[in-house]
Amino acid sequence: MSTENTKNEIIETPIKKSSEKSPEKPKKKKKKRSKRCYLCRKKVGMFGYTCKCGELFCAKHRYASEHSCTYDYRKGHRENLLKNNPDANFDKVLEI
């Protein structure tokens, strides 16, 4: 910003840029959200159960039948067997 004196002299005044920070204010600490059951929103604290579908549940809703779980357990077990036993042959034994 420039201003003129009565003698037609130009005096430069420093311009604050928006990138310059004013004195920093202490930042507030964010509260951690309490762990809650996905279905009933009850606080579970450190005793919550994480299901294979990826959600957190209380003791009442921890079973897959209680919260209508979307995880396919049968497919998961089959994949686990094939991964752990890659050379297993599941054909019937013809000769003894």
- The fold adopted by the segment(s) 33-83 is Zf-an1 domain (4.10.1110)
pTM of the model: 0.52
**Rounded percentage of the chain residues whose pLDDT exceeds 90:** 31
Confidence of residue 30 (pLDDT cuts 50, 70, 90): confident
In whole angstroms, what is the distance from residue 54 CA to residue 38 CA?
10
What pLDDT shows up at residue 51? 93
Query: What does the domain layout of the chain look like in residue ranges?
Result: 33-83
**pLDDT > 70: what percent of the chain?**
67
Residues in CB range of 73: below 8 A, 6 or more apart: 52, 64
Residues 86, 79: Cα–Cα separation, whole Å:
10
